[in-house]
Amino acid sequence: MALLRLYLAGPMTGYPAFNYPAFFAAAQTLRDAGYAVINPASIGLHADWAYADYLRVSLRLMLNSGQGVAVLPRWDASRGAQTEVQVARALGWPVHTVAEWQALAASGTLAEYLAVHSH
């Protein structure tokens, strides 16, 4: 089975260092579990970008490369992450916490899970 490509969604605005350390740690955890990871923190900071610019680029990354979403703690308090999760669910993509994705990989039943839960 090819690596499942997971997009990371979580809060950035208002966090120290835009919560990038949590994004990069989660990305490594998921890679160690066998997933390919799309990390929006990799976009970096751009002095001339507004919130909408980051959201537009992030959604494009998610839509062009993702197959599922891994959410970070407090994702539900983030406008951007809420939008990303809503789009993923509208597409029928699985959405889980990083720990849940990690447990699925460790259980050896990811292929069976995806056969039932992916659209």
Phi first, then psi, for residue 46 (nearest 5°) are: -130, 115
Residues 11, 68: Cα–Cα separation, whole Å? 17
Per-residue confidence (pLDDT) for residue 108, from 0 to 100: 85
The sign of the dihedral angle between the CA atoms of 11, 21, 56, 87 is negative
Which residue reads 């039932």 in tokens?
A: 116
Per-residue confidence (pLDDT) for residue 102, from 0 to 100: 96
Task: Compute how many other C-beta atoms are within 10 angstroms of the C-beta atom of residue 6.
Answer: 30
pTM score: 0.92
Q: What is the token pair recorded at 80?
A: 């951007």
What are the DSSP calls for 14-47, one per residue?
A: TSGGGGHHHHHHHHHHHHHTT-EEE-GGGG---T
Per-residue confidence (pLDDT) for residue 115, from 0 to 100: 77
Per-residue confidence (pLDDT) for residue 116, from 0 to 100: 78
Per-residue confidence (pLDDT) for residue 61, from 0 to 100: 96
Residues 36, 84: Cα–Cα separation, whole Å? 18
CA angle 97, 6, 67 (to 5 degrees): 115
pLDDT tens over the chain, length 119 residues? 568 999 999 999 999 999 999 999 999 999 999 999 999 999 999 999 999 999 999 999 999 999 999 999 999 999 999 999 999 999 999 999 999 999 999 998 887 877 777 65
